[in-house]
Amino acid sequence: MRRLQAEDGIALVPAISVLFIVLALGAAVLATVNVQSSQTGAERSQEGSFQLAESALNSQLLQLSRTWPANSAAAYPTCSQSSAASAKCSGATLTQNFTNAGAGTGPNGGSDFATTPVWSTRVLDDVNGSNYYADTLATQGGVAAYDANANGSVWVRSEAVVGDNRSVLVSLVAQGAPVREQLPTATVIAGWFQTTNNGKKVIVDAIGSSGSAGAVAVRCATGPGKSDPCLGYDPAKGQLSPANAYQTGYVDGTGVPNATNRRVLSADALERLKQRAQSIGTYYATGCPSSLTGALIYIENANCSYTSNSQWNSAASPGVVIFGGGTLSLGGTSNFYGLIYNANSQGTAPASGPCTSGFKNTTVSLGGNTQVLGAIMVDKCGGIIAGSSKLNVAFDANVFNNVVSNGAATGVKNTFRIIPTS
């Protein structure tokens, strides 16, 4: 009876009860933490899919700034992380910061991404007008991947999947207004200039239709004189009018001349002009165009000769012809209204000092009764030959207004949308 009445283990029962209560609370806390961790991962995955879709959309917008899809030749393909990087698609670079756990433990790893993130973008013509978008455009046939209605706007649709979360975004993108590239106001800029005519006549009219003269500027240091290798014309015969409209030792920009900086336009400006020509379908990667008529023609590298009796462009609508490299020869009885520019990729220049005879190469030749009514510019130590039988160059300062590149494409206000997904 004494054992039955003893109270030595009375604390065991409450202790066990408290232990069960603590274990129950711990299990509840663990379950809550597990649920919250899962929700945090899902939230991060959802946010990741939105950010990736938005990044893809912004990247496509930047590419539209460089090359606007004005026609079917400039149409944009469907772009994704598996596409080859190009001027119209960023390729795999966007997903480098969104990788799955299986890709490793580096800084790009993401343990809550069950699969590698994927994305795609499409350019779609706004066939229903700029105020309306239906996602059926992405599935129905016959929707152009360029600005088919020529209204200066297209839809960009971006889709991304991160983990189990899918985001679809769209925005209307408007073509930016053309941006004028800045050039010096001159009739001629070249490494050297020469006439082949011995007559007493004006070969270069440095005023032309302009109110003031644009100089004949050369990067060499001697002349003028009939047999001078730098500025080779006869000043006693009035071949340049006004007679003092020339400059020797011309320096481009503000830097000290070296082997690479003797250029009127920067490499970036030329690239922008090339992209504009590509977007309007007047870029020639090889060969020569059949005509020099057009607002902007870019010839990558070709030796082009025209001897027919033609008129290219007009005084009211002058054009721009740019050679990345190669030569241009004009003959016959022809008039070209606009700017001729040769970047002279085949040419060279000295490391210092003015252009000398050892670096001379001919890039533009004017013969017959040809007239250039505008301006001519050549980079490095490339030169111009003129003066077969009459006035060959007449200055027109208005041609510089047409040297324009594509403006930045912009997302149209209040058109950015998140498309509901199932």
- pLDDT score recorded for residue 231: 97
- pLDDT score recorded for residue 254: 83
Positions of the chain with pLDDT lower than 50, given as ranges: 103-109, 112
Please report, as a single letter, which amino acid is at residue 291.
Answer: S
For the entire predicted model, the pTM comes to 0.77
| 385-422 tens-digit pLDDT | 998 778 899 999 999 999 999 888 999 988 999 998 86
Give Cβ neighbours of residue 58 (< 8 Å, ≥ 6 apart).
none
Please report, as a single letter, which amino acid is at residue 59.
Answer: S
Distance CA 68, CA 244 (A): 44
- pLDDT score recorded for residue 1: 64
Residues, the chain, total?
422
- pLDDT score recorded for residue 37: 59
The distance of Cα 306 from the centroid of its chain, to the nearest Å, equals: 30
- pLDDT score recorded for residue 34: 63
Please report, as a single letter, which amino acid is at residue 103.
Answer: A
Distance CA 220, CA 177 (A): 38
Report the chain's C-alpha Rg in angstroms. 34
Pair type for strands 153-162 and 118-125: antiparallel
The 10 Å CB-count burial string (b at 16+, else e) for 282-303 is: bbbeeebbeebbbbbbbbbbbe
| 137-177 tens-digit pLDDT | 887 777 899 999 888 899 999 999 887 789 999 999 998 88
Write down the domain spans for the chain. 40-180+408-419, 188-402
- pLDDT score recorded for residue 396: 97
Assess contact for 217 and 206: CB atoms under 8 A. Answer: no
Distance CA 281, CA 47 (A): 40
- Residue indicated by tokens 């009459």: 390
